[in-house]
Amino acid sequence: MALLTLQGISKRYQQGELEVNALSDINLTVEEGEFAALVGPSGSGKTTLLNIIGGLDSPTQGTTRLNGTDITTLKEAQLSDFRLFQLGFVFQSYNLVPVLSALENVELVMVLQGKHKNECRQRAEHYLELVGLKDIMHRRPSALSGGQQQRVAVARALAAGPRLVLADEPTANLDSENATALLDIMHTLSHEEKTTFIFSTHDPRVMDRAERIITLQDGKIVSDERHHHEHKT
């Protein structure tokens, strides 16, 4: 069974008289362990789609099944639990709580999950080491570069042990060097942790690192290609 199945997803926004079809009849399956990019011009519906997959927004029509659960039927509190335990998020910027250190930010999700203190600490340190930030894990976000902050966000998403990590333009505010470095980290972790990633991007160099590229245009999937390139460690 596929990890994620979207069936007939449509999203219409009402803007006064005008109706905007942000998404129309999207059908998509994503298997466990995939590393997929969502691309397309601005306004094509990438953010809308990621929000619907993440249960942050509800579709006008259609169903979203994750790991067998139809999340469109879940209530607010259940959705919140679902996100807490099954999903990881990395947003474009300002992902972190500014009053907490990098380490505390990574621990936060696990603490909210109710994990034991020691386990939170161990896992947080482990993942910060994987993203190469163990030395500066006691710094607050304001003392980290944009790239470092995004890496902390990736560590936070993964440390909580999600089935699926959603990242909406995680590299948009990074220069290309930092952007490719972040992608490499995400890619490596995706393999090592067998975690599924779906991320949106505009950046061709970032797209290159994806194993699957789903292209959206005007709210429809216009192409869906798999690249089987070697993963370098």
Partner 1 sequence: MKKSAQASVLSRLPILIFVAWRNIWRNPIRSVLTISALASGLVMVILYASLLEGMTRQMVRFATEISTSHIQLHRQAFIDDQDLYATLPWSYMQKLEQEFPDITIAPRLYASGLASSTNTSTGVLIKAVDPKREIEVTKMLEHVRHGKLDLGIADITENGFARYNLVIGAQLAKNMNVEPGDELVLVTQAADGSIGNALYRVAAILKPLEPNFDRMGVLMSIEAYQQLMYLENGFHELAIKVNDLSQLENIQADIIEKLNKLTAVEPLDKLGGVPVVRNWRQLNPAVADLLELSKAFVFIIGFIIISLASLGMLNTMLMAVHERTHEFGILLAIGMKRRWLLLMVLFESFFLSLVSAAVGSVVGLIINNYFEEHGIDFSQSMPDGYDWAGMIFEPVMKGYLIPMDVVYACLMMMVVTMLASLIPSWQTIRLKPAEVMR
Ligand X SMILES: Nc1ncnc2c1ncn2[C@@H]1O[C@H](COP(=O)(O)OP(=O)(O)OP(=O)(O)O)[C@@H](O)[C@H]1O
The Cα–Cα gap between 157 and 76 comes to 21
Buried/exposed 18-49: b ≥16 CB within 10 Å, e otherwise: eeeebbbebebebeeebbbbbbbeeebbbbbb
Q: Given candidates 31, 41, 70, 112, which one binds partner 1 under the rule CB under 8 A?
A: 112
User: Considering the rule CB under 6 A, would residue 196 count as an interface residue with ligand X?
Assistant: no
User: Considering the rule CB under 5 A, would residue 171 count as an interface residue with Mg ion?
Assistant: no
Work out the number of other CB atoms within 10 angstroms of the CB of residue 149: 21
User: Considering the rule CB under 6 A, would residue 42 count as an interface residue with ligand X?
Assistant: yes
Coil/strand/helix, residue 190: helix
User: Considering the rule CB under 5 A, would residue 150 count as an interface residue with Mg ion?
Assistant: no
Nearest approach, Cβ of residue 56 and partner 1 (Å):
4
Query: Edge-to-edge, what's the strand order for the sheet holding 35-39?
Result: 87-90, 164-168, 196-200, 35-39, 212-217, 220-226
CA angle, 43 as apex, 40 and 45 as ends, to 5°?
Answer: 70
Number of residues that bind partner 1 (CB under 8 A): 31
Give which of partner 1, Mg ion, ligand X, none residue 111 binds (C-beta under 5 to 8 Å, depending on kind).
Answer: partner 1
The Cα–Cα gap between 65 and 47 comes to 18
Q: Give the residue with the Cβ less far from partner 1, 116 or 227.
A: 116
The Cα–Cα gap between 171 and 185 comes to 12
User: Considering the rule CB under 6 A, would residue 201 count as an interface residue with ligand X?
Assistant: no
* Crossing angle (nearest 10°) for helices 102-113 and 76-86: 130
Instruction: Draw the binding track, 27-56, toward partner 1 (x: CB under 8 A; -: no contact).
Output: --------------------x---x--x-x
Q: Given candidates 31, 81, 129, 208, which one binds partner 1 under the rule CB under 8 A?
A: 81
Stretch that binds partner 1, among 20-28, 93-101, 189-197, 198-206 (CB under 8 A): 93-101
User: Considering the rule CB under 6 A, would residue 171 count as an interface residue with ligand X?
Assistant: no
Q: Tell me which residues touch partner 1 (CB under 8 A).
A: 47, 51, 54, 56-57, 76-77, 80-81, 83-85, 87-89, 91, 94-95, 97-100, 108-109, 111-114, 156, 160, 168
